[in-house]
A and B are shown apart, each in its own frame.
Chain A
Amino acid sequence: MAQISLHVNGKNRVVNTDPGTPLLYVLRDDLELHGPRFGCGLGQCGACTVLMDGNAVRSCILPVSAAQKRSITTLEGLGSVARPHPLQAAFIEEQAAQCGYCMNGMVMGAKALLDKNPHPTPAEIKHALNNYICRCGSHLRVIRAIQRASGSQPGKLITGAVSTSSSRG
């Protein structure tokens, strides 16, 4: 066990833990954050993604000791329902989820992308998120949400548009 100092969402936190503990469990169990989620524990699905010094990292395979003296941002660090980050607002606007369990990864992955490339093409978005798994299949809405957040017109750059033929007047 060791005292580990962390800087999470702008605050300094100290936890007493095994330095080999993956950051995810410290964030969830010690700091009581819900944003980063356990999906695989193998760094494969992206549900646990956090930003470390601005880069998207998989907190399920990152020992907490490696996160010391780094700036960690979780989903909670972006905004809240009352004061959503523009990216979160765009996801809400596009209703870009089904179960939403993987959405931590999608939003954090998108944040890392937009910070480096503020106006990505759909192909660039797909490439950036290719290693984030969504089992419900909300991919097209996520792409639209990221386009919306980047100031592009969602739905126009891709043909994921939906049309309705309705007999209702």
Chain B
Amino acid sequence: MNTKTISRRDLLKGSGALIVSFSFFGTASQLLAQSTGLSDDGLDPTSLDSWIAVAQDGNITVFTGKVELGTGVVTALAQIVAEELDVPFNKVHMDMGDTAKTIDQGVTAASRTVERGGPQLRQASAAARQELLKLASGRLDAPVDKLTVTDGVVSVVDNPARKISYGNLLGGKRFNVKIVAAGVGWDMKVAPGIPAKNPKDYKIVGTSVPRIDLPEKFTGEFTFTQDVRVPGMLHGRVVRPTTTVSKPVSVDESSIRQIPDIVKVVKEGSFVGVVAKTEWAAIQAARTLKVTWSAPSKKLPAGPDEVFNYLRDTKSFKDTIPVNRGNLDAGFSQASKKFEANYHWPFQLHGMMAPSCAVADVQGDKATIWTGTQGPFRTRDAVAKLLSIPKGNVHLLYRESSGSYGRLEADDVAEDAALMSRAVGKPVRVQWMRENEHAWDPKGPSQYLTIRAGADAQGNLIAWDFMDRSFPWTAAEGNALLASNQTGLRATNPGFLNGASGGGQVYTIENQKVVAASIPWVQEDEWPLRTSNLRAPGDLARVFASECFLDEVASSLGMDPVQYRLRYITGDKRPAEVLLAAAKKSGWVERPSPTLSSGKQKATGRGVALANRANTMIAAVAEVEVDKATGQVAVQRITLAHDCGLIVNPDGLKNQIEGNIMQGVSRALLEEVLWDENGVKNLDWGSYPVVSYEQIPDVEIVLIDRPEMPALGGGEASIVPITAAIGNAIFDAVGARLRQVPYTPQRVLGALKA
């Protein structure tokens, strides 16, 4: 992105030398100097200077704890800042995820960055604009309400010749202004009392500004985490057991003696890694090193069915009940028709294109980490704990990795790199191999869902009893990550709950209960079935179950799926609007499912699903072709209507939706983690296929913009209804109901025979 970066130290000194050249290939000691004088808790969020700096040339630097994950979100945040400050978009530079220079705005995840981080930066910008106008008022001898700003130049309304630029007003100096900053992370309210611009006057927000980061990504000029090189840097690779972490009973270092350039075999607790002068030597050594592991303390479950049984039969440690209305028993007793079904969701991988990678330079009681974490402060704190040094002694510099979809909230590799660097006293770059990533990815958890419903004699739903049984994210909430666990730290809590939305609460039913039960899953010694948030966590499975089940009911009653859904949308009209928008765009014809109109071997069908993810409304219509002889499903087209309130960048949003659709098709048709007693079986892309070019659907998108509303999340909402819409389309085509994901040919053929 931008190559000019303001040194926070110089800025804090008020030296006036604001723009200094700063290379991230600098020495660790230079980099560490940046953090000198900071407390463990970092910068003061109530200082406006912690957020924004104005250079003499009018360039604006925004310091943000939010990071670009490849979704375009930092372009959107820069638009928000440029809009509020009335500066050209290309004057805004985003300095992201440097723990010595930015405020902790919480992890970048859960489609919350525009929704929560956006207002934080908007309000900081509004406060900065207010201060700049005050300064201009004095310099131009005119009251603030007679001033206007165009492209970073303040002028007097009725005398435009009297003007002064932001650069001339403040360039080289601090604001020295206190603002309100209450709360922490996502929930921090920044300068809440400062009036911001009326959205009606927006000129930059709402336009398809091209992504800041993309051009360099097409030419090789971009620096990903994987491209970070530090002088004197060595290469490390991890050696991990294939099942539950046990102890290395013996490590035969002579087994790699023939490989040149080996620096050290790092053993600490049950952690084993290899450091070498070259990457290829490290790879060969990690593959060749003979390690005998002790018997694991706990076996992996025999397979997915054993996990489903465990989910079904084990007492929940926490029930989340987002809806409990009316009286279910009374509802079912009045029902003339009753329905019940179970749905199964598999473990799935995040499957990052780039396996985890980080560079660490640990020198004495100080550490510098370059990594692609979704939570720079979270990783900083974890590394500090692992190394038993103060948080303030760890300087984390965010560098973008590939799309991570939640996986890099649990930034394991930064810890691996820190351990190996400490062991050799030199900077070490650690990159996981593909098989490390698939084996030890903290996976999207399996879910077991049970639904009962009752309808009265007129076919109205009068009872809805939804139960999701799923695992919490064990690699979350500050629980020890892999290297920490291997060196003796243990999980301190049961993990972060897997959400509770998508269980049918987008509808209002007279007697309705939705329960998300959390089943214990934290292990004393880590194993490959560890879990974390995978894009729109929990919601895919819950919407798969609730929206497919609703179609089962509608079909049984001979109702059109869209019309039947509309009956139960009350109050907020936004769900009905996206549903109708998707139906209309797709050319939906009102009729019950299935069609069964064709005796041909290849049958086509359409299916719909509706979802509300964190108040973003999404409806999808899937059109599929099912080969009844082979069980192959081809998704031909997805039409998706999307309402996330105010749209910041329409093309950026469409890009996200297209990606969500492709990943949704992939997870619906192809993706399932399998394992046996020897560990995970899908250790490469051949055994864990994801959607390919010849399998992608065509896409139609309807964006519903609501400038009167706040901007809500667009990063993951649109993946939520895809599985359900495809499942309903398969049923429509061939009359077979699939209640287990993925929809493999084998399962389709099985359902056809059922």
Contacts and interface: CB of A to CB of B under 8 A. Distances in A.
Given A100-B217, A135-B352, A164-B703, 14 more contacts: A18-B260, A28-B279, A34-B224, A35-B220, A39-B434, A80-B221, A84-B219, A101-B402, A137-B662, A137-B663, A159-B698, A160-B658, A166-B650, A167-B706
Contacts of B69: 99
A34 B227 CA distance: 6
A162 B220 contact: no
B401 A92 contact: no
Nearest to A1: B260
B197 to A, nearest CB: 15
Interface string B595-626: 00000000000000000000000000000000
B2 to A, nearest CB: 13
A79 B519 CA distance: 53
B39 interface: no
A100 B213 contact: yes
B701 A127 contact: no
Nearest to B357: A38
A166 B703 contact: yes
B696 A140 contact: yes
A44 B685 contact: yes
A102 B355 CA distance: 12
A162 B221 contact: no
B290 interface: no
Contacts of A29: 278-279
B278 A25 contact: yes
Interface in B339-377: 351-355
A75 B220 CA distance: 6
Interface of A: 1, 17-18, 20-22, 25, 28-29, 32-35, 37-42, 44-45, 47, 74-76, 78-81, 84, 88, 91-92, 95, 97-104, 107, 125-127, 129-141, 143, 158-168
A89 B37 CA distance: 45
Interface string B64-96: 000001111000000000000000000000000
A37 B357 CA distance: 12
B216 A81 contact: yes
Nearest to B227: A34
A8 to B, nearest CB: 12
A44 B700 contact: no
B693 interface: yes
Contacts of B705: 164, 166-168
Contacts of A101: 70, 217, 224, 353-354, 401-403
B659 interface: yes
A38 B279 CA distance: 11
21 contacts: A17-B280, A34-B220, A34-B222, A38-B354, A41-B433, A42-B686, A84-B219, A98-B72, A100-B213, A101-B403, A130-B692, A135-B663, A137-B661, A139-B693, A141-B658, A160-B698, A162-B701, A163-B585, A166-B647, A167-B704, A167-B706
Nearest to A165: B702
B9 interface: no
Contacts of A45: 353, 685
A5 B226 CA distance: 25
Give the 5 A-B CB pairs with smallest separation, nearest first: A99-B70, A137-B662, A100-B217, A35-B220, A101-B402
B740 interface: no
Contacts of B581: 165
Contacts of A91: 214, 218
A132 to B, nearest CB: 8
A141 B224 contact: no
B218 A97 contact: yes
A125 B402 CA distance: 24
Nearest to A104: B220
Nearest to A159: B698
B78 to A, nearest CB: 15
B232 to A, nearest CB: 14
B210 A100 contact: no
B319 interface: no
B706 to A, nearest CB: 7
A78 B650 contact: no
